[in-house]
Structure 1
Amino acid sequence: MKLIVTLLLLSAAVVSFAAVAKAPAARANLSIGSIGPRDRLLHRGYLYRQGVPNSIQYQDYMYRGNATNRISAIRAFEVGYTQYASPWLIQGGLGYNYATIRVQSARGWGYYYSIEIYGQ
C-alpha cells in the first residue's frame, strides 16, 4: 500500500513539474542600478521583432557613450502585451561607458522593448 501511494505521489509530482517547465516565463523586465538626482537619460532605444513560427530570435543592443559618461542605471521594459521574451546584460554596464543588452524571444514569439540608459 505504501508503495502505491509513493508511486502515485511521485507520478503526480512529475506530471505537475512537466506542465510548469514547459510554460514560458511571465513579463520579464531588466532593471539594473539606481537613478540618482544628478543622473540624466543618456540614451533611449526600442527593439522590435515580429514572431516567426518555431524559431527563437535575439538581438543585441549596443550603447557606446563618450569617455566621460558613466552608466548608473539600465532599464529594459516590455512595451504592450506580454511576449515571453528575456533581456539581460552581456557586456559593460554600471560604472562603464558602454553596455550591450541582449533580448531573446520565446520560441514562436516576438518582442518589443524600450531600453533606457541613465548616467552622468
Structure 2
Amino acid sequence: MKTLFCLLALAVITQSAVLVDKSATARNNINIGGFYPSDRLLSRSYVYRPAVANTIQYEDFIYRGNATTRISAIQVTEQGYTQYASAWIRSGGLGYPNVTIGFQSLRGYGYYYLVDIWGR
C-alpha cells in the first residue's frame, strides 16, 4: 500500500513538472525600481533589429538626462513573439541621470524591445 501511494505521489509530481510554461521563462525583460505619482516618463523608445542569417547582433541604447534628473525605474519589455534576445544594464541606472542598456540577439535572430525610463 505504501509503495502504491509513493508511486502515485511520484506520478503527480512528475506530471506537474511537465506543465510548466516555458515560453514565459524565455523572455529576458528588465523591471527594476518603482515609479510614483510624482515621477514622470523620461523616455519611451523602441529598439528593433530584424533577423539576419548566421549573425549575432548587438546594440547599446544610451539615455542621457540632465544633471538634476534621477532615474527611479527602468522597464525593458520584449515585444511580440520571443526571439530569445538578451538585455542588460551596462552602466548608470537607478539614482543616476543616465543609463546604458545593452541588447544582443542569438545567432540568426533579431530583437524588438520597448524601453521605458521613469524619473523625477
Same fold (TM over 0.5): yes
Deviation track 1:83-107 (CA, whole Å, cap 9, x = no partner) reads: 1001100010000000000111111
- After superposing the two structures, state which structure 1 stretch, 101-110 or 31-40, moved more: 31-40
Instruction: Report runs of 4+ in structure 1 exceeding 6 Å deviation.
Output: none
Cα separation, 1, equivalents of 2:71 and 2:51? 32
Cα separation, 1, equivalents of 2:111 and 2:53? 13
- 2:72 is matched with 72
1:43 aligned to 2:37?
A: no
Structure 2: give runs of 5+ residues left out of the alignment.
1-24
Cα separation, 2, equivalents of 1:109 and 1:34? 31
- 2:108 is matched with 108
Cα separation, 2, equivalents of 1:27 and 1:107? 16
Cα separation, 2, equivalents of 1:30 and 1:54? 26
CA RMSD of aligned residues (A): 1.0
The letter of the residue matching 2:106 is: A
Structure 1: give runs of 5+ residues left out of the alignment.
1-24
- 2:54 is matched with 54
Cα separation, 2, equivalents of 1:89 and 1:111? 16
The letter of the residue matching 1:73 is: A
TM-score by length of 1: 0.77
- 1:9 is matched with none
Cα separation, 1, equivalents of 2:119 and 2:113? 20
Cα separation, 2, equivalents of 1:36 and 1:83? 32
Cα separation, 2, equivalents of 1:102 and 1:35? 22
Cα separation, 1, equivalents of 2:105 and 2:60? 12
Aligned residues: 96
- 1:18 is matched with none
